[in-house]
Each structure stands twice: as C-alpha cells, then as structure tokens.
C-alpha cells in the first residue's frame, strides 16, 4: 500500500514574477511525437516553455490524422518530430525547438545527453523505450514525467530518483495496444506481425474495420503493388496498370475503392494471388517510401516461388520429436499451411454465413494467423514464433482516443510545473477512468509511492534469481530472451563471477559471437553460479543468481524471480506441500475411524499454519483507521490492491503499460 511522501520533500515555490523566466530557461526533452506527444508539445509552448527537444523515429501515416492534430494530409510520409516542431512554433514563434528524427535507444542519446535537460516528459507507445528512458533518467538524476493511454483510460506519474517509485518498480503486464501505422508499415516485434495477421483475417473473412486495414495506405488493395512498382519502375507499372479498370476510373478523376475482401473474392481467394499481393507487392510498395527506411532495416519481398525453396534443409531437423505446436514452422511450411487454411476458411463463407469471427481455438483460423504472422516476420527480419507462442500472444487491440490524449497531455504539463517548482510532495499519480467513480470523479489523483526496495532497477544493489536449465540454455538465448527481452537491456555485458573474470557476453560486436551457440553448462555455469550483468548505455548493473531447474511451470524456458523474499516464500510453500503429502500418507495408515473423523473436518481446521492469514475488505480497513484516528480526509487517496468485493467503477484504475 502506498504512503504519503514525507513533508521534507516539499520545497519553496518561486514567486510568479520569477516563475515565467524559469519556464523559458529550463530545458525539456519530449520523447515521442505521436498522439500524446502532439498535444504535449502544443501545451508546452502555450504554457511558456521555450527550450524543447523532441525525439521520434516514426513518419506520419494517414491513420494518424484523426487524432494527431499537428499533422495534415500534406505531411504524410514526413518525420513526426520535424513536422511537430514546425506546427508548434506557429503557436509560439519565440520557442526554440530541436527535432530529432531518430530512435531514443541509440547510444548517442545516453546519460550525458539526458543530463543536459531539466526534465524529461515521456509520450511513448511501447514498454521497451519506456524502460530505457526510465533507466537513463535514473542514471542522470533527471526528473521524469511518465504517461500512457489505452482507449478511454490514461495515467500520468512523476519519477524522481530516490524519492518515488521508478517505472519498473511494479511489474507491467504485456503491452496490448499498438499504433496502426506500426502494424501496417514498420513492424519490429513478433506481436506486430501477429496483430497484422489477425487484422488480415477480419479483412478477408470477418467484419472489416477501416482502422484495421492491412494494406499500406492504398485505396485499392489490388493496385498497392503496382503503386510500389511505379515508384521503383514507373514505366513498367504504368504499362500494367493501363489495362485495368481502375486506371480507367482514375483517368476520369475518380478512384475506384475496392476492399481487401472484394478483391480476394473477385480472384476466388486464390492463395497464390493473395500471397503475392500481401508478401511481395505490398512490400514493394513500402520499399518505395524511401524516408521510412532511412533508420530501419529494409524488408525483403517474398514471392510464391521463393517461399517454396526456403528452409528446406531445416525441415528435417525441425521434424525431430517435440510437441507439434512448439515446433517452429519453416517458410515453406508457412506457405503450405497458409494455402490450406485459406481453402478451408473460404468454404465456410456461404449465403447464410457472410462473416466469420476469429477464434484462437479454431484450428484453421489459428493456422492462418500463425502462418501469415511468421511469413511477415521473415520478410521484416523479425524472429518467427511457434504456433504455441502465437496463440499465447494474440490479444485484443484497443483504439486510440484523441480526447484521452488531450487530457493526459494537460496533466503532464501540470505535473511538470510542480517538478519545476521543486514541489515533489505535491506531485501525484493521476488516473483517468472510463466512467466516473462513486465520488463522481473521472480523474483520480494518488500519492506517489517511495522506491520499492526490491526493484530490479532503482534499488541500490539490484539482484535477481534466474531459473533455467543450464544444460539446455544457450548463451544467445540468455542474451536475447533474458537480458534484452525480460530485463530490457540495450547493450548487455556479462561476466561470470568465478574469480577468473570469464566474459560470457560482450556488447562489442563480434567479440563473443562464437559463444552464442554454446550452452551455459559449457562455461561451468551451475546451480548457484553468479553472473554480473552490466549495460553501459543505461548505466545499469544487476547481479544474477543462477538456479538450475530442468522443469519450469507451463513449459517456460526461464523464470525471473526479482524478489529474494518471493523465492523464499516459494521454497517454503514447496516444503509445506511436501510435509502435507507426508502427513496424508501417515494418516492413511491410521485406523479407519480416525481417518473418517479427519475427513469430516473443514479445510480450515486442517491447515493450522494458515489460520493467522486474514483478508480484510477495504471498508473494514477504512473503518478501523477511522477508529484509530488514522484517516485524514485532506489526504489524497492511496494506490492499493483492490479487493474482490469492489464495484466495477472502483476498479477502473489502469496500470500503466
């Protein structure tokens, strides 16, 4: 449960005549120029902030225009950071804004860069970047105002080293919202490809949603490939397009808009034609957008013929044993499964059934999404996933709401003013709810929590336990899945604490490349071995205790236990379960009468050790506090775990992702 910040955190507020020059002179870094970022940049220049730098890697997509109001149709394809700067300067020409069309994850935006700023304001849309900025702000001791939205829900909080929780103090659920332009144009993670494949299923067989269009900014899905080829080879594309009905309409000044489903239906859902459009022609169209790939890896178009020859040598190896769903499909297998799934699902569309709903438990639907996601991942150089992983990762997509972004951006500036005045004691974590709570409040402010002692990032000496099978886990898996994936490190270096200074992983390119395929056991890493993991970019260090474990829950490859107390509790629970089994075996050999009597006892009478565990409803807790004189009406509500008896309105608190 959260506690109020000590009074000593409060500082003197500058007088109004001194405050405006302070606004003009302080340096603000805004990370992200999307939905929240556009509103935030506008608010900052109108409030009086004049020295601002903004970083964003993305370019403007047509789908951004309904909520990112600093952009117009003429800006499509340009850098978000550059256009946001130009538009914001119209509100306050005196402001000095520097735009960076770049990724904040790059080494040049390290601790020295962050130390140049008075405050950092996050307007990001992904957890990896949030983790990175959080660590850099802690390392540079610069206050951070963090924010996030999900549909009608939103949250703003303040992070200050040593005074408040950092972004990673509380575990975060897997992110489930993704920008549409990222899904269509620039996927960078497996989940982006999975979401795209689900959208494609709806476009072909279900209820089509314009916001879920899988084609990259094209009115006619059949001509998207021709548009890309036109950019690459205009003469060839024009000769092909001139024979189509669409060009006849275009010559009259009209655009014949054809839905993805109508186009597929007109070609009788031919798998080869669908494959060519989705994985070759659409990719060629994306490649024609040169600015999109200035700082990104370019995708590689995949033709029907090429797919049939890729990974043929690996198929025999993949077929060896194991559960079918946990075996990684080759590109050729994805092509074959895609073709088969299209034929099966197509037959379900009859006169009575015109729309299908995707169901992860339907074999053909799941095969379609898995095959399409992996084919797209192969094209963009993203790690492919097994059918089991795809099924686990598939989730709902929450739309972005312009009003939510506007409210949250306003709250960011209000919290920023408190930070600038040194009033950390007055700063709050504020939640925006979907509907008013019983007190008729949409905005719920809560006191900031102090740093969590067991945090893996902001604790004085971060330490964790890592369960994995050392004989089956490679160094490459440790680097990619644990350090870069679970721990969000950018450039990890790992040294085995063995007194010899053995370097397991180096951030220097190629220095330890030969280790990636070797198993941890080959480096004498056993149960109890310690690894010193360091990230020089994030100025972050953590000690990892290895626990050799052959079998993990739910078939997981590894398990990170951040709190040593949690591991201790788990071990105690396992010991109790073992003792309980032994007691049951002993009692079974007793007399039948005693056994019968014991079987009539209620469960709570058997486990005496748990009798001191009492769960109190929040109402009872509040009543006790009032009786003890602890309840103070003037204090803001505290963040706390919600009990099962709360109403739906009271549970509308969103945990920032």
Token duo for residue 275? 């494959």
All residues at 6 or more sequence positions from 532 whose CB lies less than 8 Å from its CB, including other chains: 494, 495, 496, 497, 541, 543, 544
Q: Is 615 annotated as belonging to a binding site? A: no
Straight-line distance from the first to the last Cα atom of the chain, in angstroms, rounded to the nearest whole number: 20
Q: Is 56 annotated as belonging to a binding site? A: yes
Write phi, then psi, for 474 (nearest 5 degrees).
-85, 160
Compute the radius of gyration of the chain from its Cα atoms. Answer: 28
Q: Is 36 annotated as belonging to a binding site? A: yes
SS3 513: helix
Q: How far apart are CA 586 and CA 588, in angstroms?
A: 5
Q: Is 80 annotated as belonging to a binding site? A: yes
Token duo for residue 651? 């549970």
Burial class (CB in 10 A: 0-12, 13-18, 19+), 357: exposed
Q: Is 491 annotated as belonging to a binding site? A: no
Q: Is 270 annotated as belonging to a binding site? A: no
Burial class (CB in 10 A: 0-12, 13-18, 19+), 553: exposed
Q: Is 533 annotated as belonging to a binding site? A: no
Lookup result for tokens 């996030």 = 148
Q: How far apart are CA 287 and CA 233, in angstroms?
A: 12
Q: How far apart are CA 449 and CA 334, in angstroms?
A: 48
Q: Is 370 annotated as belonging to a binding site? A: no
Token duo for residue 279? 């994985």
Q: Is 455 annotated as belonging to a binding site? A: yes
Q: Is 33 annotated as belonging to a binding site? A: yes
Write phi, then psi, for 548 (nearest 5 degrees).
-75, 120
Q: Is 211 annotated as belonging to a binding site? A: no
Half-sphere exposure of 214 (CA within 13 A, CB side): 28
All residues at 6 or more sequence positions from 89 whose CB lies less than 8 Å from its CB, including other chains: 45, 95, 97
Q: Is 247 annotated as belonging to a binding site? A: no
All residues at 6 or more sequence positions from 362 whose CB lies less than 8 Å from its CB, including other chains: none
**What is the residue-wise DSSP string for 32-64?**
--SHHHHHHHHHHHHHT--EEEEE---B--GGG
Q: Is 159 annotated as belonging to a binding site? A: no
181 is catalytic: yes
**What is the residue-wise DSSP string for 367-392?**
HHHHHHHHHHHHHTTPPP--HHHHHH
Half-sphere exposure of 590 (CA within 13 A, CB side): 13
Please tell me which residue in 38, 181, 370, 446 is annotated as part of the active site.
181
Q: Is 127 annotated as belonging to a binding site? A: yes
Closest of 202, 229, 226 to residue 213, by C-alpha:
202
All residues at 6 or more sequence positions from 461 whose CB lies less than 8 Å from its CB, including other chains: 543
Q: Is 26 annotated as belonging to a binding site? A: no
Do residues 628 and 127 lie in contact, with contact meaning Cβ atoms separated by under 8 Å? no
Closest of 97, 84, 160 to residue 123, by C-alpha:
84
The number of helix segments (H) and strand segments (E) in the chain equals 24, 14
Sheet of 119-122: strand order equals 96-100, 51-55, 27-31, 119-122, 144-150, 153-159, 428-432, 443-447
Q: Is 35 annotated as belonging to a binding site? A: yes
Q: Is 65 annotated as belonging to a binding site? A: yes
Q: Is 166 annotated as belonging to a binding site? A: yes
Q: Is 427 annotated as belonging to a binding site? A: no
Lookup result for tokens 């490859």 = 557
Burial class (CB in 10 A: 0-12, 13-18, 19+), 208: middle
Q: Is 447 annotated as belonging to a binding site? A: no
Q: Is 632 annotated as belonging to a binding site? A: no
Do residues 25 and 1 lie in contact, with contact meaning Cβ atoms separated by under 8 Å? no
Q: Is 371 annotated as belonging to a binding site? A: no
Binding-site residue set: 32-37, 56, 64-67, 80, 125-130, 166, 169, 455, 458
Active site amino acids: 181
Binding site for Zn(2+): which residues? 166, 169, 455, 458
User: Binding site for ATP, residues?
Assistant: 32-37, 56, 64-67, 80, 125-130
């Amino acid at each position: 449960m959260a506690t109020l910040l000590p009074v000593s955190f409060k500082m003197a507020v500058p007088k109004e005549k001194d405050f405006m020059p302070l606004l003009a002179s302080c340096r603000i870094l805004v990370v992200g120029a999307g939905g929240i970022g556009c509103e935030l940049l506008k608010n900052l220049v109108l409030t009086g902030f004049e020295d601002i730098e903004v970083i964003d890697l993305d370019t403007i997509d047509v789908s951004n225009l309904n909520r990112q109001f600093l952009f117009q149709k003429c800006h499509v394809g340009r850098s978000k950071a550059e256009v946001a700067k130009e538009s914001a300067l119209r509100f306050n020409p005196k402001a000095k804004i520097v735009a960076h069309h770049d990724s904040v994850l790059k080494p040049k935006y390290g601790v020295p860069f962050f130390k140049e700023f008075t405050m950092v304001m996050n307007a990001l849309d992904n957890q990896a970047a949030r983790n990175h900025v959080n660590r850099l702000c802690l390392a540079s001791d610069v206050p951070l105002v963090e924010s996030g939205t999900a549909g009608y829900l939103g949250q703003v909080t303040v992070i200050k080293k040593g005074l408040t929780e950092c972004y990673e103090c509380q575990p975060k659920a897997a992110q489930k919202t993704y920008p549409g332009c990222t899904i269509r144009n620039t996927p960078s993670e497996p989940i982006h490809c999975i979401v795209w494949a689900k959208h494609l299923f709806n476009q072909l067989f279900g209820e089509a949603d314009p916001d879920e269009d899988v084609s990259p900014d094209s009115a006619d899905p059949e001509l998207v490939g021709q548009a890309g080829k036109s950019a690459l080879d205009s003469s060839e594309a024009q000769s092909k397009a001139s024979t189509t009905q669409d060009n006849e309409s275009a010559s009259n000044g009209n655009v014949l808009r054809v839905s993805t489903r109508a186009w597929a239906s007109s070609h009788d859902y031919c798998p080869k034609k669908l494959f060519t459009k989705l994985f070759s022609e659409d990719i060629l169209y994306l490649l024609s957008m040169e600015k999109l790939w200035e700082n990104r890896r370019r995708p590689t178009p995949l033709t029907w013929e090429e797919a049939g020859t890729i990974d043929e040598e690996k198929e025999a190896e993949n077929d060896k044993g194991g559960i079918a769903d946990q075996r990684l499909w080759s590109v050729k297998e994805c092509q074959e499964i895609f073709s088969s799934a299209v034929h099966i699902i197509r037959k379900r569309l009859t006169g009575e059934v015109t729309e299908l709903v995707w169901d992860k438990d339907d074999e053909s639907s799941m095969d379609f999404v898995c095959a399409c996601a992996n084919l797209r991942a192969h094209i963009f150089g993203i790690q492919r996933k097994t059918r089991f992983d795809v099924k686990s990762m598939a989730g709902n997509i929450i739309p972005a709401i312009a009003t939510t972004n506007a409210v949250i951006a306003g709250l960011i500036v209000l919290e920023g003013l408190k930070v600038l005045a040194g009033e950390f004691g007055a700063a709050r974590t504020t939640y925006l709810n979907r509907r008013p709570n019983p007190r008729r409040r949409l905005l719920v402010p809560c006191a900031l929590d102090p740093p969590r002692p067991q945090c893996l990032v902001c604790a004085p000496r971060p330490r964790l336990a890592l369960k994995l099978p050392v004989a089956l886990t490679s160094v490459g898996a440790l680097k990619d899945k644990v350090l870069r994936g679970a721990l969000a490190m950018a450039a990890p270096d790992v040294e085995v604490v063995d007194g010899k200074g053995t370097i397991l992983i180096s951030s220097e390119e190629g220095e330890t490349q030969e280790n990636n395929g070797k198993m941890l056991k080959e480096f004498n890493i056993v149960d109890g071995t310690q690894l010193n993991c360091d990230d020089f970019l994030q100025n972050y260090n953590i000690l990892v205790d290895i626990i050799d474990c052959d079998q993990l829950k739910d078939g997981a490859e590894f398990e990170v236990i951040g709190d040593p107390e949690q591991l201790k509790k788990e071990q105690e629970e396992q010991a109790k379960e073992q003792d309980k089994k032994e007691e049951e075996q002993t009692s079974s050999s007793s007399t039948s009468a005693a056994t019968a009597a014991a079987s009539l006892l209620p469960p709570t009478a058997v486990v005496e050790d748990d009798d001191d565990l009492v769960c109190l409803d929040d109402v009872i807790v509040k009543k006790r506090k009032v009786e003890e004189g602890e309840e103070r009406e003037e204090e803001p509500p505290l963040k706390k775990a919600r009990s099962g008896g709360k109403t739906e309105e009271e549970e509308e608190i969103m945990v920032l992702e």
